[in-house]
Amino acid sequence: MITRRRQTTLVLAAVLVAAAASCQAQDRPTRPAGHPAAPAAPPGFTLVATGDVLPHSSIIERAHSDAGGNGYDFRPMLAAVQPVVTAADLAICHVGTVYGPDGDYTGYPIVEYPPQVAGGLAATGYDACATASNHTLDDGAAGIHRTLDALDRAGVRHAGSARTAEEASSVTLMRAGTAKVAQLAYTNDANGFPLPQGEPWAVNLIDPARIVADARAARKAGADVVVVSLHWGTEWQDAPDERQLSLSKQLTASRTNGRPDIDLILGTHTHVPQAYEKVNGTWVVYGMGDQIAGGTFNHQGVLDPRGNESTIGRFTFTPPAHPGGRWEVTKAEFIPQAFDLDAGRVVNLNAALGQGAQVGGVRDWIRDVVLSRGAAKDGLVMAQ
């Protein structure tokens, strides 16, 4: 396990301004008049993904303040990463908990947060969210219904939990550039809460055979690319555990007619960033960390700043040279980010460099964790 250097409070006032500006897409060079047009770029697409959104009590209070005391506004928290998210062809988030009844919100241990989170995610540019987590059953079937209803109203697709058996058996299929992308999502457990009576399909639990079967069904439904979101791993451990390692090998080894059944695995749950690794030719993000969370305490009861650090994964897919081939990841990137507890804002750490040595220290630690299993040799780079 990689040793963690201590984090001090992030600086923000000027940081957020710099972050929003620096995250903008790179300027395209102007083509001189009279020169022939450059060849058209391959019709691929970019996908970005981020970690758990966990609105603890302090986060709910911040959103209420950002709304001027009238409701809840989660948009300012995510403003600094909006340029990265909106620049992608497809953006996937993770809803770590369920929405509570109107005005009745709790931060922990039973987590139910305001449905306005869905609007904040949509405004930031997210297209879909994984909804399978250990908190999915915190309020039984009612919590699932409220959460998916709110995401539907906001125009955000979802996978991992369901209101009906028909919804559970359907494929979340989205257009990204010229490709059709399927998102599947599963959780390791539901904190011991039983599945609602008569609704064994309410939340997807991790079962390797089921995941492979679902991936093959998604392919038959027309998916060019199959993305699997897994809520797994050991909390507060920045190294993937044995189950993560064995399951990633098993899932990425699965093939149909020589073509991998799964094209990308996105991990959440551990609270801290974990490594990226190419396994059997497929990229696996073991853990992206918490994108939004209040101050969190580790298993030793210590307030652990790593719980407010995470990454954005960005993958560029290129279509196959021949029909029926695999869409390949031709560019793999990550962007280190953190949540500033004092300011209540997500910070793009690369954009915030120059705002203090502590920012660079946190950024460097995240980089070391992400690259700890040799992903650099397979082409993973830290994006600016």
108 band by pLDDT with thresholds 50, 70 and 90: low
Question: Which tokens hold the place of 355?
Answer: 């705002």
Taking the domain 44-382, which CATH number applies? 3.60.21.10
Q: Whole-number mean pLDDT of the chain?
A: 89
Rounded mean pLDDT of 129-145? Answer: 95
Rounded mean pLDDT of 83-99? Answer: 95
Q: Residues 229-264, buried b or exposed e (16+ Cβ, 10 A)?
A: bbbbbbebbbbbeeebbebbeebbebeeeeebbbbb
Of all residues in the chain, what percent carry a pLDDT higher than 70?
A: 86
Contacts of 41 (CB under 8 A, 6+ apart): none
Which of 285, 251, 287 has the alpha carbon at shortest distance from 272?
287
| pLDDT for residue 283 | 99
Q: Which of 94-98, 99-103, 262-266, 269-273 has the lowest mean pLDDT?
A: 99-103
Count Cα atoms within 13 angstroms, Cβ side, for 96: 25
Question: Which tokens hold the place of 294?
Answer: 């209040």
| pLDDT for residue 106 | 66
Residue 296, phi then psi, degrees to nearest 5: -120, 150
pLDDT in tens, 306-365: 999 999 999 999 999 898 899 999 999 999 999 999 999 999 999 888 776 689 999 999
| pLDDT for residue 107 | 56
Which of 108, 31, 127, 66 has the alpha carbon at shortest distance from 346?
66
| pLDDT for residue 356 | 66
Question: Which tokens hold the place of 337?
Answer: 């980010």
Give the residue carrying structure tokens 């993560």: 244
pLDDT in tens, 145-174: 999 999 999 999 999 999 999 999 999 999
| pLDDT for residue 150 | 96
